[in-house]
Amino acid sequence: MLYDFAVAPFADYGFMRRALVACLALGLGAGPVGVLLVLRRMSLVGDALSHAVLPGAAVGFLVAGFSLPAMGLGGFVAGLAVAGLAGLAARATALKEDASFAGFYLISLSLGVLIVSLRGSNIDLLHVLFGTILAVDRSAILLIGAISSVTVLTIALFYRPLVAQSVDPGFLRAVGVRDGVFHFLFLLLVVLNLVAGFQTLGTLMAVGLMMLPASAAQLWAKRLPAMMAIAVGVAVVSGWLGLVVSFHFGLASGPTILLFAGAIYCLSLVFAPSGALARLRPRRRHRTA
């Protein structure tokens, strides 16, 4: 019974296996990046960048249809352009970086929807906005796997400066390190993982598998490596549960995956060591002799 429900769909159908591998690869890359986003208090910036890839993905779609390389390249260029413009606006004006990101993300979202609607149908627009995880093919898995590998390798190589730049960028400047280089490197990783995610979850939900597991992980662990491991685990479990439930009950796979990630996050808010119940428990007072 349990095998038929939880394992048989992946054993019997190739598209389910490919979707599960895509979720695994996405979780491996997006989980650690999401933890660093939460650590930097840049969660809304991640959401803004997820919408920023839409115009480039839309242009790639118009040129080559649902070609992952074309849409991925377009989304990558658009995401980097918005990140660069937002950073430039924050440095050259009185606007904070989050405000400049918000402005450019709204422009990007509107432009992307307009581009797709000019040449595509409503179904094409839905595919771009919400993704088609059950339609991922070999090329998509290879691209997502390559992005996840680059992400994990980059974080491993530059772990200390990335963490220091997240916690105290002034320290890097004090020791003579240009923190702006690592800030750009981090934004590059965010854009890369959003490009990996939009093919499967769409531009509107790609950031979900990055932020929800990371937010839940922060409630369960205090040390950064443990947070990253938990975030990856939550993302993978959410992908597996979401695919199984959507297969048996005929639901949309992408939203179901994110709803499971959201459910784990909500349970963590209550039951995690840093959750609500732990805060409500009376603390023991130490007696002094």
- Residues 171-220: tens digit of each pLDDT: 667 776 776 788 889 989 998 998 888 777 876 677 888 999 999 999 99
Per-domain residue ranges of the chain: 2-275
* pLDDT exceeds cutoff 50 at 109: yes
The larger pLDDT score, comparing residue 3 to residue 156, is at: 156
Fold classification of 2-275 (topology level): ABC transporter involved in vitamin B12 uptake, BtuC (1.10.3470)
- Least Cα distance to 90 among 104, 77, 75 occurs for 104
Q: For residue 273, name the pLDDT band (cuts at 50, 70, 90).
A: very high
pLDDT higher at 127 or 248: 248
Nearest of 186, 38, 187 to residue 101 by alpha carbon: 187
What is the per-residue pLDDT for 284? 60
pLDDT in tens, 116-143: 777 666 656 666 666 778 888 888 899 8
Residues 6+ apart with CB under 8 A from 128: 54, 57, 58, 61, 71, 112, 116, 120, 198, 202, 203
pTM: 0.87
pLDDT tier, 289 (very low <50, low <70, confident <90, very high otherwise):
very low
Report residue 103's pLDDT band, with 50, 70 and 90 as the boundaries.
confident
| Residue 157: band (very low, low, confident or very high) from pLDDT cuts 50, 70, 90 | very high
What are the tens digits of pLDDT across the range 4-20? 889 999 999 999 999 99
Q: Which residues contact 208 (CB under 8 A, 6 or more apart)?
A: 201, 258, 261, 262
In this structure, are residues 135 and 14 in contact, taking their beta carbons and an 8 Å threshold? no
Put residue 91 in one of left, alpha, beta given phi > 0 → left and psi -120 to 50 → alpha.
alpha
Average pLDDT value for the chain: 84
pLDDT at 149: 95
The more confidently predicted of residues 153 and 101 is: 153
Model confidence at 105: pLDDT above 80? no
Q: 204 — phi, psi (to 5°)?
A: -80, -25
Question: What pLDDT, on a 0 to 100 scale, did the predictor assign at position 279?
Answer: 78
